[in-house]
């Protein structure tokens, strides 16, 4: 009988977007791989998939049902490892796995950016900090993805079996590839743009944290000074229609393409001239790493996830404050300095190759997994 690992998260798309290489690796080691999350998406490299009722809000009654489903599943299947992700997936799974840990199951939790952080709201600290600190005690390994979270967990005495830092989920630099200026001009035309259009790119769920409205306000300052600017916004979410209405109100709707959900970001990114980050809070943003891998310079707001990736004026720009006029000024400056864009972009890709490639992150995770995979017949549980 192969050993079994259970991966858990709030929604199944989380695994499709970020974790397929790691599911594949466990299959290659001869393990039985199972997934528990909300949704009906088919996933490769998975032997069994379970739909679990989980809601992102910690205050929804559906989570009580999700907890009972996870508890029953974990105790019945007797997994060797449970690896959980996302705040609610991680909370419910670690609570549900308490009995299993007493029988030898190992529980891993990856925090993809604590909801509480330096400069974060008092509400986030009041709600999420005590929860995460308590649940660390139910984790054999707490895995964080940026240095600020690592220092916070250590300094505040989180009592996990061990605390590890890995460089996010990684990016495949063979998929996200830069193109030269001549090819960029041709590719722009194939997507319906003019060769001299100055393309800005942002990908992310339309929600309050991702803060796309900040970019739209910046565009309003640019519409006269940089008339060939275009903003490409990929993603869906509850703020989508609000942002479209805001663009119309500010008279920039003709400068924005609302792309919706896209599967061809690896083709869109290389034709762009800048990538933008507007979030209030990030752990280690994959969309920004993908842009960096394509040799696209970044201009981003000042939070821990962007700061982890961007060295200001070396591989991108971090704005000192959330000021849409300042963002507009930086965009205009970079539109006028192609040599600087080239240098920033080359350094951005070098950063990915050196620290954030998928192969490097997989090796970091392997070293953690192997400490639990080789414990004789004891179980290991991993939660996400």
Do 163 and 185 lie in a common domain? Answer: no
Specify the pLDDT at position 378.
Answer: 42
Do 121 and 197 lie in a common domain? Answer: no
CA 267 to chain centre: 19
For 224-239, write each residue's pLDDT tens digit: 999 999 999 999 999 9
Do 161 and 192 lie in a common domain? Answer: no
Do 185 and 141 lie in a common domain? Answer: no
Query: Does residue 246 form part of some domain?
Result: yes
Do 143 and 52 lie in a common domain? Answer: yes
Do 215 and 192 lie in a common domain? Answer: yes
Q: Which of 235, 226, 274, 231 is nearest to 256 (CA)?
A: 231
Q: CA-CA distance, 255 to 328, in Å (whole number)?
A: 14
Do 193 and 339 lie in a common domain? Answer: yes
Q: Which residues of the chain have pLDDT under 50?
A: 1, 376-384
Q: CA-CA distance, 18 to 133, in Å (whole number)?
A: 25
Do 308 and 362 lie in a common domain? Answer: no
Do 130 and 203 lie in a common domain? Answer: no
Which residues constitute the domain of residue 367? 4-170+358-383
* This prediction's pTM: 0.92
For 118-175, write each residue's pLDDT tens digit: 767 777 788 889 999 999 999 999 999 999 999 999 999 999 999 999 999 999 999 9
Specify the pLDDT at position 381.
Answer: 41
Specify the pLDDT at position 114.
Answer: 87
Q: CA-CA distance, 232 to 257, in Å (whole number)?
A: 5
Greatest CA span in the chain, whole angstroms?
A: 68
Do 329 and 293 lie in a common domain? Answer: yes
Do 43 and 67 lie in a common domain? Answer: yes
The helix/strand/coil state of 352 is helix
Report which DSSP code applies to 357.
B
Specify the pLDDT at position 330.
Answer: 98
Do 229 and 302 lie in a common domain? Answer: yes
Tokens matching residue 251: 């008279």
What angle (nearest 5°) sits at the alpha carbon of residue 34, between those of residues 46 and 63? 125
Specify the pLDDT at position 122.
Answer: 76
Query: Does residue 228 form part of some domain?
Result: yes
- The answer for residues whose C-beta is within 8 angstroms of residue 27's C-beta and 6 or more apart is 33, 45
Q: How many residues make up the chain in this entry?
A: 384
Q: Tell me the CATH number at 20.
A: 3.40.50.2000
Specify the pLDDT at position 1.
Answer: 42
Q: Taking the C-alpha atoms of 313, 304, 57 and 63 in order, what is their torsion angle to the nearest 10 degrees?
A: 120
Total domain count for the chain?
2
Query: Does residue 175 form part of some domain?
Result: no
Beta strand ranges found along the chain (DSSP E) = 4-11, 32-38, 48-51, 81-85, 106-111, 141-144, 163-165, 198-203, 229-234, 256-260, 274-277, 298-300, 316-318, 381-383
The helix/strand/coil state of 289 is helix
Residue 34: φ, ψ to 5°: -130, 155
Query: Does residue 159 form part of some domain?
Result: yes
Specify the pLDDT at position 2.
Answer: 62
Query: Does residue 176 form part of some domain?
Result: no
């Amino acid at each position: 009988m192969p050993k079994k690992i259970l991966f858990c998260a709030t929604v199944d798309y989380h695994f499709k977007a970020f974790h397929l290489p790691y599911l594949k690796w466990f299959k290659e080691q001869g393990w039985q791989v199972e997934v528990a999350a909300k949704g009906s998406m088919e996933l490769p490299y998975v032997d069994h998939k379970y739909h679990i009722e989980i809601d992102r809000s910690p205050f929804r009654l559906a989570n009580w049902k999700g907890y009972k489903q996870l508890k029953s599943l974990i105790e019945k299947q007797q997994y060797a490892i449970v690896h959980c992700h996302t705040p609610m997936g991680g909370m419910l799974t670690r609570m549900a796995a308490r009995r299993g840990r007493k029988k030898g199951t190992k529980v891993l939790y990856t925090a993809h950016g604590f909801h509480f952080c330096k400069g974060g709201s008092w509400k986030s600290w009041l709600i999420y900090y005590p929860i995460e600190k308590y649940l660390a005690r139910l984790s054999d390994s707490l895995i964080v993805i940026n240095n600020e979270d690592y220092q916070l967990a250590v300094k505040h005495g989180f009592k996990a079996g061990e605390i590890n830092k890995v460089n996010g989920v990684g990016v495949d630099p063979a998929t996200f590839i830069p193109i030269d200026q001549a090819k960029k001009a041709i590719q722009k035309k194939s997507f319906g743009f003019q060769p001299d259009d100055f393309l800005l790119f942002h990908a992310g769920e339309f929600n309050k944290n991702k803060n796309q409205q900040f970019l739209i306000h910046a565009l309003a300052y640019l519409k006269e000074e940089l008339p060939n600017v275009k903003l490409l916004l990929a993603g869906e979410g509850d703020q989508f229609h609000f942002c479209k209405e805001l663009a119309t109100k500010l008279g920039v709707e003709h400068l924005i393409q609302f792309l919706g959900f896209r599967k061809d970001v690896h083709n869109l990114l290389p034709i762009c001239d800048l990538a933008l980050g507007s979030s209030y809070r990030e752990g280690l943003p994959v969309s920004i790493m993908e842009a960096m891998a394509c040799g696209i310079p970044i201009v981003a707001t000042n939070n821990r996830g962007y700061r982890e990736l961007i060295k200001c004026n070396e591989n991108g720009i971090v704005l000192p404050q959330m000021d849409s006029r300042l963002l507009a000024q930086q965009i205009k400056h970079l539109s006028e300095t192609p040599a600087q864009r080239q240098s920033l972009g080359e350094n951005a890709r070098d950063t990915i190759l050196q620290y954030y490639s998928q192969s490097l992150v997989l090796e970091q995770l392997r070293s953690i997994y192997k400490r639990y995979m080789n414990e004789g017949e004891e179980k290991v549980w991993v939660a996400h």
